[in-house]
Structure 1
Amino acid sequence: MRRRLAGISLLGVLTLTAAACGSGGDAQPADGPVTITMWTRAATQAQSERLVEAYNSSHENQVKLTVIPTDNYQPRIAAAAGARQLPDVFAADVIFVPNYTSQGLFLDITDRIAALPFKDGLAPSHMKLGTLDGRQYTLPHTLDLSLWFWNKDLYEQAGLDPERGPKTLREFAEHATTIQEKLGGDGKVHGTFFGGNCGGCYVFTFWPSVWAAGGQVMNPEGTTSLNDQPAMLEVFKIWRELYEKKVTGPTAREEQGPTWTGFFPKGEIGVMPMPSTMLGLMPQEMEIGVAPIAGPDGGESTFVGGDSIGVSATTRNADAAWEFLSWTVSDEAQVEVMAKNKDVVARTDLAGNKYAAEDPRVVLMNQMVGKGQTPYALRFGQTFNDPQGPWLRLAREAMFGDASKAPQLNADVTKSLQQ
């Protein structure tokens, strides 16, 4: 996520390969069971491993999974594409899928998707970013939503209603401040927390408040930044006040991302934005509430993140690869593998499945898939995720420095998007 996608050679050849394959036919049909290769980044390792294990235990064809460190993933894909050594299928952060589709790394699977009886239920944001010129190249693989988690025990200790989470960002700030004032005396408990030196953390947790308020952070083409507009500036202002009042904990300003979700499970944070995938990883004894992220005065939204997955343009096992991919979004996989482990399902028509129905928090998360957004920009990584990029400079100035510089710094964000 921190490196520019670069160094891919032979992309013209890859594009021709994808076009020649159309919607995907095996270059060499197999006579017997096929073992296909799959790559995923470490950030979605747990979900990928569960899917592969379940598939391998019930199918003749098999999947050999390779998990690659997240920071090394983009360079590894670039090198493999240049050497024409991509695996049969590979997942990618949904934000970067437009880069891969535009460079011909995925096989066109439009016709195969069209034949799925549940095609209209596939996560809309993921499907949108996997579409290029009206053709579809990927399916949702894992979904990770940004939500507000609150610790019910800390709420009760602070005199707040443990069954009622915040409905607005201003109320979020009030709750966090109350917890800090009532329980933060020993320095172990803090009202809230955020990744103050992490560009990706800001977009994942702050942007939904802008969307909930009816604002936008970019134009639809992903070429103009709107992060100097009133909706974004108001969100920054509320969070900055929390930091200045020492409600956010002493390490928030330096937090670069790797540990930003680590404090809440320890019972040290009252309320904070968290990834939905963390719900299934929380201590069983911890009582946790979950709410949509709201704007300053209401509304609700979420950043629909996670990974999409596609068949590589150079595969020689397109049919076997599609068999696996289509199975991963089937009722069996989505309910018995994903939902059973409290993961968000990749299909809106399965939002109220039997496992989700047992936990209203999971039902809420599944419902938010159709309400959230996934921003589109071909230069998203360089602009918003790169620690040396212009977005992090804007965010840190707005949070910790001279907020009046936002228009000037926003121009730098737009310049980066348009390069």
Structure 2
Amino acid sequence: MRRTGLPALLLAAALVASACSGGGSGQDGDVVLTLWTRAATESLSKAYAEAYNATHSTKVEVTAYPNEEYPAKLASAAGARALPDLFAADVVFAPQYASQGLWTDITDRFEGLEHREHLAPSHVRAGTWEDRNYALPHTVDLSVLLYNKDLYRKAGLDPEKPPTTLREYADHARRIHALGGDVRGTYFGGNCGGCVEFTFWPSVWASGGDVLDDEGERATLDSPEMAEVFEVYRSLYEEGVAAPASKDEAGPTWLGALRTGKVGIGPAASVWLGEIAESGADVGLAPIPGLDGGESTFVGGDALGIGATSEHVDQAWDFLAWTTTEQAQVGVVAKGKNVPTRTDLAANEHAAADPRLVTANSLVAKGRTPYARNFNASFNDPQSPWLTALRGALFGPDPAKALAEGSTAITASLGQG
């Protein structure tokens, strides 16, 4: 039975509004739609709105809130029956919000999108609850390998041949570390649950393993693939190949470490490519590989849906559908050097000049987004059982025990959602 966090009257009102909507003409010039987003997505959300407002009588007004305050802001608005017309959310929250009825059911409208099969599949899955669609991809962020080509050359490595296995990645890191001085082979966020899931899990997936069952109700951290992936990173840290600061990296200084030009290769966010290149480094980009081959990525970013209490469902859908068009995905998203949410637009005119961007964009179709209702408390929260497990697996005396106990604790946490 569908669980919900909204009062029955609120859900009823949302269903009535949805049933009475007539197809998304978006022609009421008096309507100003409210769109909420977290700060991390503010710039692209506003770029969407600016482009849409320039050609439509209905207008979209974007309000952003600090990332850490945003979930509470949405919960408060839901309780007061005052959700915005549209709101975006970190895609890992999408199953929770969909199951709670915070977004309007858009299943029938979604089925009418000609290009629906080209939308980031893992994001579409995240915004689905009990076979009903509630949200569409809004922004996409991907995990990739970024490597310093200058250090590759100094280490005698071919800068045009990045690693195609995780074991080869470790070998490249060791060879670069052997340059000595203040150069380190690699770097990772060892005290950050979100950082490790974003960058380690793709290697597990590419190796044929998984982290959760299909319904997001049971953790599988104690798989052979997970153990071997952690062993690779644990060894790199113990050998000093991974910078010592990796152990305490909680996220804020991760990009800065890669920008110094003293780190050879590391898993990172694709959006950092431009920022690192601006420092003058010759940066390469490659997919995150599995232990012995394959490739995957964590498809992060935000999902966008229509607030369950919106009185302007037609107009809100018109904007939501427009964001998936080629006009928006190429003219707004790709033009701003962001990753399109459509897999058929990976090699667009703005990405074509930079093969690295085409490589990153093409990973959307191959990557995954974890699906679980109680994801934040189980994995991203600083007090989560995942952080305890990963710290034990990377730096503790018994990695196998840490992962096994982590699986049990996370499974229990997931059941509380």
TM-score, length-scaled by structure 2:
0.93
Q: Which residue of 2 aligns with 1:122?
A: 119
Structure 2 counterpart of 1:292, one-letter code: P
| CA displacement 1:85-131 (0-9 Å, x = unmatched) | 21110001111111111111101112222222211111111111111
Q: Which residue of 2 aligns with 1:86?
A: 83
How far has the Cα of 1:57 moved from its partner?
2.6
Of 34, 38, 42, the match for 1:41: 38
> Is 1:297 aligned to 2:292, yes or no?
yes
Asked whether the equivalents of residues 191 and 250 of structure 2 are also in contact (C-alpha less than 8 Å), the reply is yes
> CA separation in 2, counterparts of 1:311 and 1:131?
14
Q: Which residue of 2 aligns with 1:244?
A: 238
Asked whether the equivalents of residues 279 and 342 of structure 1 are also in contact (C-alpha less than 8 Å), the reply is no
Q: Which residue of 2 aligns with 1:140?
A: 137
Which 10-residue stretch deviates more, 241-250 or 11-20? 11-20
> Is 1:258 aligned to 2:255, yes or no?
no
Which 10-residue stretch deviates more, 190-199 or 263-272? 263-272
| CA displacement 1:219-258 (0-9 Å, x = unmatched) | 1111111111110000000000111111221211111122
> Is 1:21 aligned to 2:17, yes or no?
yes
| Local SS of the residue matching 1:76 | helix
Q: Which residue of 1 aligns with 2:158?
A: 161
Q: Which residue of 2 aligns with 1:317?
A: 312
Q: Which residue of 2 aligns with 1:393?
A: 388
Structure 2 counterpart of 1:71, one-letter code: E
Q: Which residue of 2 aligns with 1:357?
A: 352
Asked whether the equivalents of residues 14 and 104 of structure 1 are also in contact (C-alpha less than 8 Å), the reply is no
Judging changes above 3 Å, is the alpha-carbon distance between structure 1 residues 333 and 22 closer, same or farther for their aligned structure 2 residues?
A: same
Q: Which residue of 2 aligns with 1:379?
A: 374
Asked whether the equivalents of residues 280 and 341 of structure 1 are also in contact (C-alpha less than 8 Å), the reply is no
How far has the Cα of 1:31 moved from its partner?
4.9
> Is 1:172 aligned to 2:169, yes or no?
yes
Q: What percent of counterpart residues are identical?
A: 51
Q: Which residue of 2 aligns with 1:195?
A: 189
> CA separation in 2, counterparts of 1:217 and 1:9?
27
**After TM superposition, what 4+ stretches of structure 1 lie above 6 angstroms from structure 2?**
none
> CA separation in 2, counterparts of 1:260 and 1:355?
28
Of 256, 263, 270, the match for 1:276: 270
Of 331, 337, 346, the match for 2:326: 331
Asked whether the equivalents of residues 24 and 319 of structure 1 are also in contact (C-alpha less than 8 Å), the reply is no
> CA separation in 1, counterparts of 2:241 and 2:19?
53
> CA separation in 2, counterparts of 1:225 and 1:152?
37
> CA separation in 2, counterparts of 1:109 and 1:250?
48
Judging changes above 3 Å, is the alpha-carbon distance between structure 1 residues 24 and 65 closer, same or farther for their aligned structure 2 residues?
A: farther
| CA displacement 1:347-404 (0-9 Å, x = unmatched) | 1111221122222112122211111111111111111111111111110001000214
Judging changes above 3 Å, is the alpha-carbon distance between structure 1 residues 154 and 45 closer, same or farther for their aligned structure 2 residues?
A: farther
| Local SS of the residue matching 1:253 | helix
> CA separation in 2, counterparts of 1:268 and 1:311?
45
> CA separation in 2, counterparts of 1:92 and 1:128?
14
Asked whether the equivalents of residues 146 and 204 of structure 1 are also in contact (C-alpha less than 8 Å), the reply is yes
Structure 2 counterpart of 1:256, one-letter code: A
> CA separation in 1, counterparts of 2:324 and 2:20?
18
Which 10-residue stretch deviates more, 51-60 or 154-163? 51-60
> CA separation in 1, counterparts of 2:126 and 2:19?
18
Judging changes above 3 Å, is the alpha-carbon distance between structure 1 residues 160 and 23 closer, same or farther for their aligned structure 2 residues?
A: farther
Number of positions where the alignment pairs a residue of Structure 1 with one of Structure 2: 408
> CA separation in 2, counterparts of 1:268 and 1:23?
58
Which 10-residue stretch deviates more, 103-112 or 405-414? 405-414
> Is 1:66 aligned to 2:60, yes or no?
no
> Is 1:109 aligned to 2:106, yes or no?
yes
> CA separation in 2, counterparts of 1:394 and 1:383?
11
| CA displacement 1:266-302 (0-9 Å, x = unmatched) | 3232111111222243334432111111111111111
